Every structure is written in C-alpha cells, then in structure tokens.
Amino acid sequence: MKNLVPILAAVLLGAAAACSSSGDGNSGGPVELMLWHGQDDTAAKSIEKLVASFNQTHPDIKVKTDSGGATADTMLPKVTAGFAAGTHPDIAYMYGSWGAALARSPKVPNLKRYISGPNVKWDDFWPNTRQSSTINGKVIGFPSAVDALSVLYNKKLLAEANIKPPSPNWTWDDFREMSRKLTDAKTKTYGTTFAISGGEETTWLLWPLVWQHGGSILSPDGKKAAFNSPQGAQALSVMQQMAVQDKSVYIDSSPAEKGQKLFESGRLGLFLAGPWVLPDVQAAKIDYGFAPLPGTNGDHQTVSGPDNWAVFDHGSRRIKASVEFLTWLTQPEQQLVWMKDTGALPTRRSILQQPGYQEFLKKYPGIGVATDNLANAKQIRPVTAKYPRVSSFVAEAIASTLLGRSDPKAALDDAARKSDALLAVPGQ
Amino acid sequence: MSAVVTKKQGRPAAARPGRGGSRRGGPPRRRAAEQAAGWSFAGPSTLLVLGFSLLPMGWAFRLSLTDSDLVTEGQSVGLDNYRALADDPVFWKSIRNTLELIALYIPISLALGLAVALLLNKPIKGIGFYRACFLVPFVASAAAEGLLMAFVFDKDFGVVNGLLTRTGLPAQGFLDDPSQAMLVISGIFIWTQFGFNVVIYLAALQEIPKEVMEAASIDGAGPWRTFRHIVVPSVRPISMFLAVWGLIDCLQFFDLLMTSTKGGPVNSTITIVYYVWQLAFEYFTAGYGAAVAYALFAGSLAAIVIGLVFGRRKGFLL
C-alpha cells in the first residue's frame, strides 16, 4: 500500500503536467515525439547523437529524448504509470520479456500494417527478434537489440593454468574441468559464477542447459511446467555439481553484479555473459576471448534476449512518425554507429555485409564469435505475462540447489507445483 | 485539516445558542466570506490529503478486487485475491520476516539510541563531530547503504569475513546464507536508522530539568539510580513515540533490500512491502499485490491502535 502511494502521486502530478503540455501533434507544424531510451553513459550519448542527426535531416518530425528512468530495468512501471495519466512516451526501450504484458494493452498499437513498407525491410531482422516483437500476430515495436548468452574467458588466467582456450565444440564436462582447475581458494580466483539473486538473471543460465538436454520450459500448450523433467533435473545437476562438489563457482547473491566485477578484476576464468559487458570489460583492460556456450551431445543452443523499441498510441499521426523514426534508426548505417559505440550485436543480417562491420569487428576483438552465436539461439522463452512469476519459482529452486539445500529434482518439482497452480488460473 | 473546517462551520450555532434565528451565524454575507476564507486556508491541504492518500487508497482497494496487471484494466474477481493469501507460502514468509525485523529492531535501536544519547550528552571536546558521526548513516541514502553493505558482508571478499578469518574465526555466509541473511539485514537496518533515535533521545535528555538531577545527587543517588528513576521515566513518552515510529519504519522496510539481497536468497529476507512490489511490478499481478498491501494495512492499523491504547493506558503517551 505505502509504496503504491508515491506512484499514484506521480501519476496525479503527471496528469496535471499532461493537461498543460500535451499537444497531441494533430495540429500543424512538425510532429513531436518522446523517446524514452533507458540507456546510460556511452549508450545514452550514442542514441542522443543519432536522434540529433535524425532531427536535422527530418524537419517534419522532432524527436525528444529522455532516459525514462535510471536504467531500462524500471521502464515498464514508468510506462504503465504513464498510461494512467496519458503521459506515456511514443517510443520506449522495452525488454523482450515484457512483450506479452505490453501486447495486451490497448495503448500499444498493432504496427503490422506499417512493417510491410519497402524501407522497413522487416525480413532482414533476425528471426528470433521478429518473434519477440510479434506477440500473437500483434507487432508491438521494432527490434532494438539482440544478445545471446555466450562465454567470455580470461586469456591470462587460462594460460597461467595451462588450459587451452575453449574450442567451438567444447562440452559442459570441459567447462566443469576448466572451472575446477581455474579455482584457487588462496588467491580467491574462481572458475565461473552463477547468479542466485532470484530474478531472470538466475533462471536464464539454466534454460540453455535444459534445451540442450532435450527438455523444455513449459508443455506445448503452455499450461503446465515441463522444466522438472529428468532432462531438466540433469541440466540443474550440472550446475549443482560445480557449485556444491567442486566449489569452483562464485555464487553471486547480490543484485550488484559482483560476478562481473570479479571478471573485471581478473579473478574469474569463465564468465557466462555476452557482448553487453564488453564496454566495462574493455575499460578494465582484461584480455578476453569469446566462445559459444559449451554443448551437450554437440548441441550448443543458447538463450537470447531480444529487446524492442515499443511504440505507444498518441494518435495515428504520431504512430506514423514513430514508425518513420524507427525505420530510420534500425537501418544498417545507424545501427553500425550504435554498435561501434556500445558493442551491441547486429539486429539485421544485412549489417554483416556493410563495410563498417569490419571496423566493428576490429574494435571489439572476438565479437564475431558472439555474432555467430546468434545462430545458436533457436528457442525463445515462453511468451506469457505469467512467465516472470514462473521464472522466480525456478530461480528459487536454482538458488536452494546451488546453496546445497535441496537436490535438483526435488527443487524443480517444488517450482513446477507452484507454476502449475499459477498457470491453471485463467486469463493473463 | 478538514476537521478544522467543520469545527469552524459548526461554531457560530453552538457558540450563540440563545440568539434569534436571524442573527444565527451573523449576516449571511459575512458568513460566506468567513467560509471562503476558511476553505482557502484548509483547501490546499484537504486536496493534498484527498489526492495523495484517500483517493489512492480507494483506488488500490478497487484494484485488489481485480486481476489487473496495471497494463490493462483487468476483470473483477471479488475476494479471490484475499482468499489466495491464506495458501501463499511467500506471503506468510514475508510476514514472519517482517515480525522478526520488528522484534530485533525496536528493542535494540531504542537501547542503543538511549545509550549513545547518554554518552553524547556529556560535555566532551568536539561533541558536535561525534554527534554528526552517529547521524550520518541515518542521513545517507538507504539504497547506497544497501549496496555498500552487500560488499562489506560479502562472504568471499567482504571486510567482515576478512577480519574474522584474520582473528582465526570461521568465515560466515552472511547475506548468502538463508539462515543468517535476515539477521544481518536487521543489523544493517538498525545501523542505518538508530541515529534518528539518538537525536530524539538527546533532545529529550536535555529537557530533563537540571534541578531534578541536582536534587537526586544531593539525595545521594548514584549514576545507576539516577538513570533508573529519573532518566528512564522522563524519556518514557519519547520511547513510546520512537517504538511506534520504528514499527512504521519496519513495516515500510524496502529500499535497503532492493540493493542488497532483493529478498533472497530463497526468500529468506523478503518483507511484506518488498513482496507487494514484486507482485505488482515484476510478476504483473497488481490486483493480488494490492490485496497483500491491504492485508499489511489492516495489520499495521491494528498494531498501531493497540500500541496507542496500551500506551495511553500505561501513561506513556499524553
């Protein structure tokens, strides 16, 4: 209760502000758009630079930017508070996992009729990013970023331990063995790290392992949990053996991403992460290499997190202008500027043929492996508004297993029971 | 504020009971002017109370009867959200954690606050500096302190475990150990908040008349008896106030958690308010979250009413 009050206060204030300043753009003059980009530091500067150059070349549209919050993490609550007051932006950076919730909102228009335009080149986007922008046939926005979980390794630590860099067809046994060799209790060096702070950052490490073992997250109709299958238990055992028996894992319970800090300080050998950590890792001057995820029987599937530039309804004129802006922003030329500034991966296939792509590869050594790894992202996480809750149940199971408090099968069964009860509730 | 207005409207009739009907409330014009003046004073505050407290409360109650996710309106589900509370293990866990926090926080922070206030009430050189030292943790942002403490109590790289192992004691799991995490969090919370108690107690101690203390020492009372029979009774109303205040602080405990444990590991540090936040903004179940919030509201209202009645009866409160 108490914490709803400030939000409502913000809503009320927002309503007052909206009454005085909205201007829906249906009158003459350039269309004004509000973009909440949710980026900070380098990434924020990069997007603002791009917007400025768009405003110069497109006199009939004026895009204003705002971070919309300190980080993209809080974007959904901010936008939903904006819905109530009519102060929501035209475009916002939205995590892919929010897609199902967004698609249900009447304030999110279906962009299907716009994406067939010749300039959009919709089919040029990677298939999994298109899947993430299209929920039950409703196109909620344009793909903004795509990442796939891969492995960053510290070349110096591996060399010191006489370990050869991971080969493209390495296995989880190799991963476990390397991790064990790299761990040194005396110097507080760890093989790898698993997050257990209870959110999606915990759960998404498990899904690739489940998929590689032939398991799945939910039943095909999405009504039952399927992650507690023998395959799922096998997958979690891999993580458990490393954490509990080998003690070669730094178990990260804080939301402060201490695991990443460990890698940046040269005390972590293998880091399950992706290109999004590159600016920090480069700033820390760590000599890193990229590898795809270890495989199970030759299967190297990974999990990807495509995000969206979601569009919100402020009348058809502003929706059209938003589509025009996003069409421009997602073209290869603009994407390359963004990629070079932030280390983001290409969202479109045609970017790989651009001359600028070679410069990008030069600036971020090894990132080609991460781009190739996008092909290993074959399945997506369930597209339902209930997924975040299911994910929290699984995260709890992972945490108690890695802390040695329960065994994989029992923990997953417990999470499956809770998930089944949740999924049985109609609606949402 | 609205109470002031009703009183004012009611006054003319009550104050002049014997006067004739035509004189009641004075000339109509003056009465209207008085009313307008009254509302112009009370109006802004009334609007604030309505807009920021009562309306949101009403809105949240309506929300608690739906399955809304804040993105869409949601459908009415009657009292189902409240029924579901009974079978929700995380809800009960969050209540147990909150009660644990209250049980640790109130006695320790009061005792510590009074002890430090007694020390700081002495004429020592540089007393202003010492007083500031105890206030800093209270003034600093709780979110930053949570982040800081997550590093201080890190099981592998934290300062505390470093000191423990150096003195030959076994390293502890702290925030990574589900059986210790709530204790550690409570300790951190006491550290961040008890500076406030120190300040309030300090003011109360300085209010104790010198004559009383002098009379006690002439009568031959030592430091302990002075403390027991003069200081403690003098600050009793303040202690009651701080206990109620501390209770409210505990019931609202959130920001420190957000940046240190996020309610984990395995829900071992989840509090009611944190659970409400998760339900509304992480799991898209705002209707159910509002029901939990209302359960918290009912519980805290009951606790505070009992506290006040008890306090009045015992003469702790004026």
Which positions 249-278 of A are in contact with B (Cβ < 8 Å)? 250-251, 253-256, 258
Minimum Cα–Cα distance from B144: chain A residue: A256
Arithmetic mean of pLDDT, A382-409: 90
CA distance B287 to B73: 10
Task: Express each pLDDT in B272-300 by its tens digit.
Answer: 999 999 888 888 888 899 999 999 999 88
What is the pLDDT confidence band of residue B165, given thresholds at 50, 70 and 90?
confident
Map tokens 């002098």 to a residue: B214
Q: Between chains, do A196 and B251 touch, taking CB under 8 Å as contact?
A: no
Q: What are phi and psi of B154, to 5 degrees?
A: -60, 135
B292, burial (CB in 10 Å: exposed 0-12, middle 13-18, buried 19+): buried
A214 lies in the same domain as A331: no
Strands A192-195 and A249-252: parallel
Tokens of B169: 């004691």
Per-residue burial over B222-258, b = 16 or more CB atoms within 10 Å of its CB, e = otherwise: eeeebeeebbeebbbebbbbbbbbbbebbbbbbbbbb
A313 Cα to chain B: minimum distance (Å): 13
Residues in B touching A101 (Cβ below 8 Å): 69, 71, 284
Is A143 found in the same domain as A163?
no
- Give the integer Cα–Cα distance in Å for A171 and A155: 19
Angle of CA points A265, A269, A273, to nearest 5°? 85
Angle between helices A408-424 and A387-402 (to 10 degrees): 160
| Cβ of residue B265 closer than 8 Å to a chain A Cβ | yes
Give chain B's domains with CATH numbers: 2-64 (no CATH), 83-313 (1.10.3720.10)
Contact A253 B261 (CB under 8 A): yes
Q: Are residues A290 and A312 in the same domain?
A: no
C-beta atoms of A428 and B57 within 8 A:
no
CB A367 within 8 A of CB A292: no
Residues from chain A that touch B271, judged by Cβ atoms under 8 A, are none
Q: Which residues of chain A neighbour B53 with C-beta distances below 8 Å?
A: 5
Q: Are residues A266 and A284 in the same domain?
A: yes
Q: Provide the pLDDT for residue B186.
A: 94
Instruction: For residue B309, name the pLDDT band (cuts at 50, 70, 90).
Output: confident
Same domain, A141 and A157: no
A209-213, B94-98, B242-246, B261-265: which range is least confident on average? B261-265
**Percent of chain A predicted with pLDDT > 70:** 92
What part of B 188-247 touches A (C-beta under 8 Å)? none
Please give the pLDDT value at position A70: 63
Tell me if chain A has a CB within 8 Å of the CB of B86: no
> Across the interface, which of B156, B177, B281 has its CB nearest the CB of A188?
B156
pLDDT in tens, A69-101: 767 878 888 888 888 788 999 999 998 888 888
Reduced 3-state DSSP string for A224-293: CECCCCHHHHHHHHHHHHHHHHHCCEEEECCCCCHHHHHHHCCCECEEEECHHHHHHHHHCCCCEEEECC
* pLDDT: which is higher, A239 or B317: A239
| Alpha carbon distance A237, A244 (integer Å) | 10
The pLDDT, as a whole number, for residue A27 is 56
DSSP per residue, A183-194: -BTTTTBBSEEE
Token pair of A415, please? 């999470």
* Smallest CA–CA distance from B251 into chain A, residue: A2
φ/ψ (deg, to 5) at A148? -130, 140
Same domain, A367 and A397: no
For B37-60, what is the mean pLDDT? 88
Determine what percent of chain B is predicted with pLDDT higher than 90.
28
| Residues of chain B with C-beta less than 8 angstroms from the C-beta of A428 | 67, 69, 284-285
Q: Does residue A60 lie within any of the structural domains?
A: yes
Query: In angstroms, what CA-CA distances link A107 with A18, A94, A113?
Result: 16, 15, 17
Buried b (16+ CB within 10 A) or exposed e, B65-98: bbbbbbbbebeebeeebbebeeeeebbebbbebb
Beta bridge partners of A194: A251
Q: Taking the complete model, does pTM exceed 0.80, yes or no? A: no
- Strand pairing partners for A377? none
Between chains, do B264 and A258 touch, taking CB under 8 Å as contact? Answer: no
**A390 and A284 assigned to the same domain:** yes
Q: In terms of domains, do A206 and A298 share one?
A: yes
As given in the structure block, the two tokens for residue A231 are: 């395959």
Residue A43 lies in a domain: yes
Chain B residues with CB inside 8 Å of A403's CB? 176-178, 265-266
pLDDT per residue as tens digits for the range A214-229: 999 999 888 899 999 9
Q: Do residues A243 and A194 make contact, with C-beta atoms less than 8 angstroms apart?
A: yes
Residue A414 lies in a domain: yes
Residues of B in contact with A399 (CB under 8 A): 264-266
- Comparing A155-159, A273-277, A349-353, which segment has the lowest mean pLDDT? A273-277
Tell me how close the Cα of B38 comes to any Cα of chain A, in angstroms.
Answer: 25
* Res. B10: pLDDT tops 50: no
Q: Over the Cα atoms of chain A, what is R_g?
A: 22
- A113 and A165 inside one domain: no
CB A36 within 8 A of CB A93: yes
Q: Is the pLDDT of residue A176 over 90?
A: yes
Model pLDDT for residues A129-139, shown as the tens digit of each residue: 898 899 888 99
Is B52's pLDDT higher than 70?
yes
A278 and A401 within one domain = yes
DSSP A218: B
Q: A188: which chain B residues are within 8 Å (Cβ-Cβ)?
A: 156-157
Please say if the pLDDT value at position B3 is more than 60.
no
Nearest to B293 among A4, A77, A83 (CB): A4
Is A392 in Cβ contact with B282 (below 8 Å)?
A: yes
Helix (H, G, I), strand (E, B) or coil at B68: coil
Residue with more model confidence, A280 or A235: A235
Contact A385 B69 (CB under 8 A): yes
Looking at residue B25, its pLDDT comes to: 54
At residue B316, the pLDDT reads: 58
Inside any domain, residue A381 = no
**Alpha-carbon distance A9 to nearest alpha carbon in chain B (angstroms):** 6
Residue B299: partners with Cβ closer than 8 Å, 6 or more residues away:
B95
Q: Decide if A334 contacts A50 (C-beta within 8 A).
A: yes
Q: Is the pLDDT of residue A346 over 90?
A: yes
- Contact flag B273-A2 (C-beta cutoff 8 Å): yes
Question: What is the per-residue pLDDT for B1?
Answer: 37
* A426 touching chain B per CB within 8 A: no
Structural domains counted in chain A: 2
- Measured CA to CA, the distance from residue B310 to residue B318 in angstroms comes to 12
Structural domain for A276, as ranges:
150-303+386-424
Mean pLDDT of A153-177: 94
For residue A165, give the CATH number of its domain.
3.40.190.10
**B264 with A399: Cβ contact below 8 A:** yes
- Mark whether A110 and A70 lie in a shared domain: yes
| A413-422 core/surface letters (b: 16 or more CB in 10 A; e: else) | bbbbebbbeb
- Contact between chains at A4 and B156 (C-beta distance less than 8 A): no
Is residue A125 domain-shared with residue A18, that is, in the same domain? yes
Longest dimension (CA), chain A: 70
Is residue B102 over pLDDT 50? yes
Residues composing chain B = 318
In tens, the pLDDT along A349-384 reads 999 999 999 999 998 888 888 888 988 988 888 888
Question: Region A254-283: what's the mean pLDDT?
Answer: 88
Please indicate whether residue A8 or residue A110 has the higher confidence score (pLDDT). Answer: A110
